[in-house]
Structure 1
Amino acid sequence: MIIFYDGNCPLCAKEMRSLKRADAHNKIKLEDINRDDFESRYSYIKREDAMAFLHGQRDSGEMLYGLDVTFAAWQTVGRHSWLKLLQLPIIRFCADIGYWLFAKYRKQVTTLFCTSRCGIK
């Protein structure tokens, strides 16, 4: 599985570090969408779209978006099984809205709520 994430977002980067620590079998590849060569290596993903919403790709080539990426990633490493609750219809609807708001305002959220433990000085 590949996760395309915003490495300039301290909260996002922290989540990816946690995920990789849990990835004992190296099943997840992380790709920072801010790298200069990102669009040439992944021409089928527009950086602007990936900045707006988390993108992931299964080994089969299937694309995932938003919370589906988070769910699949933690499922892949065998952690946070409680996230399956996010797949329940009414919870999924609310969680998708919450995720969309977080993704849109992640810089402001990070500034307000993230302390030095997220890597912000």
Structure 2
Amino acid sequence: MNHLKSHDDSNNLLIVDIHDQAFNDYPHINRDDALTILHGIDSSGRVITGLDVTYRAWQAVGKGYLIKPLRWPLVRVITDKLYMFFAQHRHSISSWLTGPSTCEHDCSRSKK
């Protein structure tokens, strides 16, 4: 998120940590769901999730072309499944790739 925000020269993005008090301003987004999959709100106020959020965010900072192929119809089917796998196992994958977690909060997902 910090890397994405560093490209936001026009201040188009508002990034809210779900553990922050500011998240309470978004009661229409369930905290447990947001721990499972990335959530965002588009310019029309509609809640979007997953790679759609990622694409729209990068698009908002003028770099959407970098990940646009992930949203192509045939590729999208595969990348959405890969995203969900990654989202479900992101803490394990991250610790495997970058070392022990530096999470400041309870990073575990709620079990449903």
TM-score normalised by the shorter chain: which range applies?
0.7 to 0.9
Distance 1:69 1:114, change over 3 A: same
Over the aligned positions, Cα root-mean-square deviation in angstroms equals: 2.0
Normalized per residue, the structure richer in strand is 1
The 3-state SS of whatever aligns with 2:96 is helix
Q: What percent identity do the matched residue pairs reach?
A: 36
Residue by residue over 1:13-38, the C-alpha shift from the partner in whole angstroms, topping out at 9 and shown as x without a partner, is xxx00111000000000000112452
Aligned residue in 2 for 1:86: 70
TM-score by length of 2: 0.83
Aligned residue in 1 for 2:19: 34
Aligned residue in 2 for 1:23: 8
Aligned residue in 2 for 1:9: none
Q: Distance in 1 between matches of 2:36 and 2:8?
A: 25
Deviation at residue 59 of structure 1 after TM alignment: 2.4
1:105 to 2:94 alignment: no
The 3-state SS of whatever aligns with 2:20 is coil
**Higher RCO, 1 vs 2 (CA within 8 Å, ≥6 residues apart):** 1
Structure 2: tracts of 5 or more residues without a match: 104-112
TM-score by length of 1: 0.77
Counting matched residue pairs gives: 103
Deviation above 3 Å: which 4+ runs of structure 1? none
Structure 1: tracts of 5 or more residues without a match: 1-15
